[in-house]
Amino acid sequence: MASAPPIPSKLRAYAEGVLAHAPRPEGPARSAEEVLHELQVYQIELEMQNESLRQAQIALEESRDRYADLYEFAPIGYLTLDQSGRITDANLTGAALLGEDRGKLRLLHFEDFVAAEDRQGWRNALPNLLCQDGKSSLELRLQHKDGTLAEVHLDCLPRRNGANTLRIALSDITLHKQALTKVQASEDRLRLAKTATNLGIFDVDPVHDTTEWDQQVRNIWGIGPDEPADYAKFMAGVHPDDRAATRAALDLAFDPLGTGEYHNEYRVISRDGSLHQVSAIGRAYFERGQLTRFVGTIKDVSREKQLEREEQERRNEMDLLVKQQVAVQTAAAIAHELNQPLVSISAYSEAALRMLKGGAKNPEKLAHALAGAAEQAQRAGRTLLELLDFLHKGEAPMVPVDLNELVAEALAIAAESGYGEFRPVLQLEPGLRPVLANRLQLQKVLVILLHNGVEAMREAGVPAAAITISVRTFSGGNIAQVTVQDSGPGITGEAAQRIFEPFFTTKPKGMGLGLAISRALIQAHGGQLWLDLDSGPGATFHFTLPFA
């Protein structure tokens, strides 16, 4: 243990003087050394207390400096007003918000900085603010010397310490107000766009397991405004025939290695039984490979689809009318060109008959009549060949054709022409050899078979319409076979026997030329087209084509 510091000589003399004049206490007498030791301990305690006081004073000064810095440089302006509204104190931020030097503020009233339109409101509010028991708030505008306006928020707290004063925390909310205005304008534009385009909005948050649908989406599904929305309710509303394709589109969008884009069209059965055709687009967002949000829009396109179908029906009627007119004009041209030789043949034949009935007294005349009939018959044949040659001008050349690609093209053409409301079931042989064909003519054959199948299913009201298209190598190995089978009522009886006859049709507006033309085209390619009566349900057509 360290020894006590040496006692100064003055302190020792002082201790001896105290002992000489002090009354003697009861008990043993204390020596000068003992008294000196107590004085030394007392001295040390005083020095320690003085050091503690000094440190406390330093800490207090540092705290006061920190408070002053916080007060002066706070992001919020602080003002003190007397009961007349005159400014008695302000920090640097408050002076900057008022746009005035702090040294001049004590000669001014806060009202001097308030915009003219808000000044009367401030005058009315000041007495109430001074009388409040707690904090109160208000917003107004300040006008700077350059004429610019600033939106500010005031938190006011009265203080009653002898004289009523008002402490104000002043915040500039100009940018905040501008941002709110922009957000509101954006929301207004979005609301107008939604109203104009009939868009519904969905927002899925997988992290917090929440799903938000706006009123338009709820109207389509028939769900009330307070009823929770979730994936189960969504999928329950999707038409059963469209659920597999919808799940596939969602799985593609939710793949973290994909683009996250979502595009889909499907049917929705509302709770009231009404059917809606909708078009949906959206985007999935990911963080570290995990789906965090899925947002998008849904639009009811039932009316547009109906208009498209009606427009396509009108186009089909126009096409049919044009085809009928072409057929009529072609038949008229053939009749016109054949009429004269046929009339001549008839006249020569009648003359020959009369001669024969009269005994054929002049063989030369009989021979002339028969020769004239033969010549006119040959003329009619030449005329018919010339017409057929004219009609066949401009045919496309034969090229190698991939039948699998051709099926995809025919499906696209059928959809574009208003015959796409069926579920295609494809059974395509991979790596199939190409066939040598006229691509446009084969497309025409496939489209005719698809159109016939769709029309049959429409008339029968088939709910889950599907058409199966298979492409395979025929059993012989050198021929490809294409099969088109619909889900309609099929073809039986007299219709099955006459289905390929020209101008025979079971449709009210049909011409009866589609299948006849198709069979002629396939036969021109070296193949066969036939109806299979034993492959029901529905109508099943097969055609074959030789490989290139």
Q: For CA atoms 359, 363, 366, 367, give the dihedral sign.
A: positive
pTM for the predicted model, two decimal places? 0.43
User: Cα-flanking dihedrals φ and ψ of residue 146, to 5°?
Assistant: -80, 5
Tell me how far apart the alpha carbons of residues 430 and 538 are, in angstroms, rounded to a whole number. Answer: 26
Tell me how far apart the alpha carbons of residues 316 and 313 are, in angstroms, rounded to a whole number. Answer: 5
Angle at 228 between CA 223 and CA 230, to 5 degrees: 90
Residue 514 pairs in a beta bridge with none
Fold: same for 74-177 and 212-300: yes
Task: Pick the closest to residue 294 from 185, 205, 199 (CA basis).
Answer: 205
Cβ neighbour number for residue 125 with a 10 Å cutoff:
16
Tell me how far apart the alpha carbons of residues 239 and 223 are, in angstroms, rounded to a whole number. Answer: 16
Type of residue numbered 79: L
Tens digit of each residue's pLDDT (9 = 90 or more) over 121-160: 999 999 999 888 888 999 999 998 888 899 999 999 998 7
Tell me how far apart the alpha carbons of residues 530 and 515 are, in angstroms, rounded to a whole number. Answer: 10
**Spatial contact of 445 and 406, defined as CB atoms under 8 Å apart:** no
What does CATH list as the number for 74-177?
3.30.450.20
Residue 95 tokens, joined: 């002076």
**Spatial contact of 441 and 483, defined as CB atoms under 8 Å apart:** no
Residue 198 tokens, joined: 């009939």
Q: Which residues contact 110 (CB under 8 A, 6 or more apart)?
A: 79, 81, 85, 86, 87, 122, 168
Q: Which residues contact 315 (CB under 8 A, 6 or more apart)?
A: 417, 418
Tell me how far apart the alpha carbons of residues 253 and 244 are, in angstroms, rounded to a whole number. Answer: 14
Low-confidence ranges of the chain (pLDDT < 70): 1-32, 61-69, 162-163, 187-188, 190-197, 316-338, 340, 360, 383-396, 464, 476, 504, 508-512
Topology classification of domain 212-300? Beta-Lactamase (3.30.450)
Domain boundary assignment for the chain: 9-71, 74-177, 212-300, 305-391, 399-546
* Bridge-based pairing state of the strands 466-473 and 423-428: parallel
Burial level of 58, CB count in 10 A (0-12/13-18/19+)? exposed
Residue 349: the pLDDT is: 85
Q: Which residues contact 439 (CB under 8 A, 6 or more apart)?
A: 396, 399, 401, 406
DSSP 547: B
**Spatial contact of 166 and 159, defined as CB atoms under 8 Å apart:** yes
Task: Pick the closest to residue 435 from 474, 466, 493, 377 (CA basis).
Answer: 474
Topology classification of domain 399-546? Heat Shock Protein 90 (3.30.565)
**Spatial contact of 222 and 275, defined as CB atoms under 8 Å apart:** no
Helices 514-524, 439-460: axis angle to 10 degrees equals 150
Tell me how far apart the alpha carbons of residues 474 and 262 are, in angstroms, rounded to a whole number. Answer: 40
| DSSP element (H, E) containing 493 | helix 493-498
Residue 547 pairs in a beta bridge with 435
Tell me how far apart the alpha carbons of residues 239 and 190 are, in angstroms, rounded to a whole number. Answer: 29
Q: Which residues contact 531 (CB under 8 A, 6 or more apart)?
A: 491, 496, 499, 500, 539, 540, 541
What does CATH list as the number for 305-391?
1.10.287
**Spatial contact of 302 and 277, defined as CB atoms under 8 Å apart:** yes
Q: Can you tell me which residue has the tokens 């033309």?
A: 517
**Spatial contact of 154 and 135, defined as CB atoms under 8 Å apart:** no
Angle at 275 between CA 269 and CA 279, to 5 degrees: 90
